[in-house]
Amino acid sequence: MNDPIRVIIAMITRYFRKGLLQVIGAEPKFKIIGEADDGDAALKVSRQMQPDVAILDVDMGLNKEA
C-alpha cells in the first residue's frame, strides 16, 4: 500500500480552513500534517513538516524578515 500524501493547509479564514481539514482529512489517500492561519506560520510549518502538498490562501502575506 502506498503512503498517504502529506498535506498542510494554510488559510486565513478559520471556517474555510477547518472545512478543508474535515474534507481532506476524511480521504485515506491524504494525511493532514499541519495547518496555519497566516503566511509566516505557513512557512514555518512547511519548513518543519516538509509536506508533499501545501494548500495555501493566496491572500496571505509574509513578514519581510521571513
pLDDT at residue number 24: 95
Class of domain 5-56: alpha beta
Q: How far apart are the first and last CA of the chain?
A: 38
The tens digit of pLDDT for each residue in 1-50 reads: 589 999 999 999 899 999 999 999 999 999 999 999 998 999 999 999 99
* Domain ranges for the chain: 5-56
pTM of the model: 0.83
Residues paired with residue 56 on neighbouring β-strands, in sequence order = 10
pLDDT at residue number 9: 96
Question: Do β-strands 30-36 and 5-10 pair in parallel, antiparallel, or remain unpaired?
Answer: parallel
